[in-house]
Amino acid sequence: MSATETIAPAAPLLPILVVPDPLLRKHARAVTPADYDEVRALIPSMFATMYAAPGIGLAAPQVGRLLRVIVVDVAPDKVPAPLALINPEVVAESDDKCAREEGCLSLPEQYAEVVRPSWVRVRYQDVDGVKHEVEADGLLATCLQHEIDHLNGVQFVDYLSPLKRNILLRKLAKEVKEQKERRGRR
């Protein structure tokens, strides 16, 4: 059984928004108790969409929902380690930084090195509203920070110099235009 079938059996896939969709620049609102039924239904589809992409993280704004919800699994090809975080916030981070190449499902096929704290502690709620904390370093720390940024309308390209950011965004725009043209010819 695949990770998708284990975590999100038969959950519908959601369309992933691509930059420059304006929704990706908006701040997501906190999940309240009134939202929990919607969030419980959303999370399996977010996992299914993330695994199908394939990716290691996905934030609700990337699928058009302005709710503070993220899903991550930094081991999709090994043993699944899915983590759904509601209202996540970084409550502590290391002074030391590390650089890691990042990509994003909302900026397909675009990658750049980003410098972030090498360790974080994140406070969040689970689908029952119970509060938890997770400490992370390495890839998980990077992934958590990246996805939490999406909840605040921030993209990994915002950490790049203006020159690097513009090159990457122009390349993405060109690739998106070419894809649309190819689809139009079919």
Could you report the per-residue pLDDT of 60-104, keeping only the tens digit for each?
999 999 999 999 999 866 788 899 999 999 999 999 999 999 999
- For residues 169 and 157, the answer to whether their CB atoms sit within 8 Å is yes
The span from the CA of 133 to the CA of 37, in Å, is: 22
| Average pLDDT along the chain | 92
Residue pLDDT, tens place only, 122-134: 999 999 999 999 9
Q: What is the pTM of this model?
A: 0.91
Active-site annotation holder among 147, 175, 178, 181: 147
Q: Say which range, 99-103, 142-146, 170-174, has the weakest mean pLDDT.
A: 170-174
Helix (H, G, I), strand (E, B) or coil at 129: coil
pLDDT of 178 reads 84
- For residues 113 and 100, the answer to whether their CB atoms sit within 8 Å is yes
Positive or negative: CA dihedral 9, 13, 80, 2: positive
Helix (H, G, I), strand (E, B) or coil at 52: helix
pLDDT: is 2 or 18 the higher one? Answer: 18
**Number of domains observed in the structure of the chain:** 1
5 is catalytic: no
What's 112's domain CATH number?
3.90.45.10
Instruction: Residue 38: give the domain boundaries.
Output: 3-185
